[in-house]
Amino acid sequence: MALSDLLYPDNPKRKKELIHLHQKLLECMSTNFRATNELVGVLNEHLGCTISHIQMRESSTVKENCDIIIQVMSEIQHQVQKIDSDMKEKLEPVLYQKLYDIKEPELEKIAIAQKVFSIILGEATSTAGMVAIKLLGSNLLTFTVSKLIGLLAQIGASVLGGISITIIGLGIEMILHAILGAVERNELLTAVRSYEKHLAEFKAASEKYQRAIHEVTSLVRQQVQ
């Protein structure tokens, strides 16, 4: 038994908590990567975007993977802003305002957006209009993505950022060594609390992000069927 475990009897329990929290964090990140790629696929196929798909890099750190997903989320934000700019530029003010009027019928909004994308792309389906309206009218841009980008940046900048994501299949002691690094083992409680805080916020924001994307992709699937 390590001396720190004798001095701090709760350490074995905290070690297990730390491993569990780290695995939960990586699972959450992995789900966000998949959800983001789903949205990227919809934007590329129906709105003429050219956003690259992303993949978690097992040889990289948590921070490096956070940076990967932040970059593509920022590109998604840019594309949604561009959609709004295109609508504002090509529509009469009255029609543009209708896109954001909650009293206007959804089908009318979709028809307006479809006409704009037909001009931009040369041809556009009602699916393009539907996706555009869903993105413009949801909180995907205004809150969810922005919130998640902020949390990813915090995680990357924290002590968690320097940890490699390849540790999932390793033994407990190797996982602990990778997680703790320079952190003294008598600081396990601090490390656990830091993980708990980041994970709770990150998981909540991730679930909202994934739901928002699911709303868009499920509508697309229904339209295709």
Domain boundaries, the chain: 58-182+192-222
Mean pLDDT of the chain, nearest integer: 79
Are the CB atoms for 156 and 62 separated by under 8 Å?
A: yes
Q: Give the pLDDT confidence score for residue 47 in this predicted structure.
A: 87
Residue 40 pLDDT greater than 90, yes or no: yes
- For 108-121, the pLDDT digits (tens) are 988 888 888 888 87
Residue 193 pLDDT greater than 80, yes or no: no
Percent of the chain with pLDDT over 90: 19
Give the pLDDT mean for 169-193: 55
Are the CB atoms for 109 and 132 separated by under 8 Å?
A: no
Q: Give the pLDDT confidence score for residue 50 in this predicted structure.
A: 93
pTM of the model: 0.81
Q: Give the pLDDT confidence score for residue 217 in this predicted structure.
A: 87
